[in-house]
Structure 1
Amino acid sequence: MREQYMRAGHGFLLVYAINDRQSFNEVGKLHTQILRVKDRDDFPIVLVGNKADLETQRQVPRSEAAAFCSSRHIAYFEASAKLRLNVDEAFEQLVRAIRKYQEQELPPSPPTPPRKKTGNGGCPCLLL
């Protein structure tokens, strides 16, 4: 079922808890699985370290998460749902990443051919 969601997704927000090492370890597996399912080397993904309000219980250093994201060219936010810190910003960044990706993936539109002048005053009529 997870792969079906991955195939249909246009981008992904991967969330782990900064106070839970195991949740961060799963992020790497999910990232790899998304790229495999999408058959891509790159895809719109934003990583969010949640529970930023629990700084004293942190198990995943900010520098480690940032290095993970830097090596994979994905955006990183630390957020707190409790404090509403960076929640909207993470979603907005994901939307920007999706739009940028779609612009790069879509082939450019072919140029519109110039309209031919007709001898009937410019009326584009077809006579049968």
Structure 2
Amino acid sequence: MREFNAVVFGAGGVGKSALTVRFIRNEFVENYDPTIEEEYRRTIEVDGELSWLEVLDTAGAEQFTALNEVYIKSGRGFILVFSLTQEASLQEVEHLRQQIYRIKGENSRVPIVLVGTKLDLANEREVERAALEDIAARWGVPFYETSAKRDWNVHDVFEDLVRQMRLRYPTDPHKKRKKPWGNHCLIM
């Protein structure tokens, strides 16, 4: 089974942990408790293939910016989270995206998914879908509008990222462990 790791970035209070915990445990975290760093693992089936996915839920981007560089260097895929009810949080993910490309390289085809949270709070919405479509098109990344509370589109985010990581990091046939005797039966 292939293993991938994903880093969840975004401003504080946008719903990074709620999104992650909904995906990992299928639970909704009602209370806001600022995260420093939480690491989760689970299997995910995408297109009939099982993979291990390690998800690193990070602190709000403005709180521990020094750690961001470490996370970016070790991360293979990134989920950039903002709140649909907070337009300023969308600007924060633009800074994170720039930082990812600065560290990974401009032409590195980094697996990224843009995620707007709190879709269920329609009456508080500040980020219009058309603006989001425009940004995603300019960045060349898929986007999802989600609600961890209602479990809307949460799995789609992680499945999309796994698909991107499979394409970006194909299996290396040289890394497979080979039996010293090949596929033949050995009788001693």
- Structures share fold, TM-score greater than 0.5: yes
State whether structure 2 residue 128 is matched by structure 1 residue 26. no
Q: In structure 2, what is the equivalent of residue 81 of structure 1?
A: 148
Match of 1:93 in 2: 160
1:8-27 aligned at under 5 Å gives the runs: 8-27=74-93
Q: Superposition pairs for residues 1-128 of structure 1, below 5 Å?
A: 1-41=67-107, 42-103=109-170
Report the Cα distance in structure 1 between the residues aligned to 2:113 and 2:152, rounded to whole angstroms: 15
1:4 aligned partner, one-letter code: V
Distance in 2 (alpha carbons) for counterparts of 1:70 and 1:55:
23
Are the structure 2 counterparts of residues 63 and 108 from structure 1 closer, same or farther at C-alpha, using a change threshold of 3 Å? farther
Which whole-Å CA distance do the structure 2 matches of 1:100 and 1:83 have between them?
Answer: 30
Which has the larger Rg?
A: 1
**Structure 2 residue identity aligned to 1:34:** I
Residue 108 of structure 1, CA deviation: 8.6
Q: Structure 1 regions of 5+ residues with no counterpart?
A: 110-128
- Can you list the C-alpha shifts for 1:59-103, whole angstroms capped at 9, x where unaligned? 111111111111111110000000000001101101101111113
Relative to its length, the structure with more strand (as a share) is: 2
Task: Determine the C-alpha separation between the residues in 2 that align with 1:66 and 1:34.
Answer: 21
Length-normalised TM-score, structure 2: 0.54
- For residue 40 of structure 1, report the CA deviation from its aligned partner: 3.1
In structure 2, runs of 5+ residues without a counterpart are 1-66, 175-188
Distance in 2 between residues matched to 1:23 and 1:72, nearest whole Å: 16
Report sequence identity in percent: 37
Which runs of 4 or more aligned residues in structure 1 lie more than 2 Å from their structure 2 counterparts after TM superposition? 106-109
TM-score, normalised relative to structure 1 = 0.78
Q: Give, in angstroms, the shift of residue 46 of structure 1.
A: 0.1
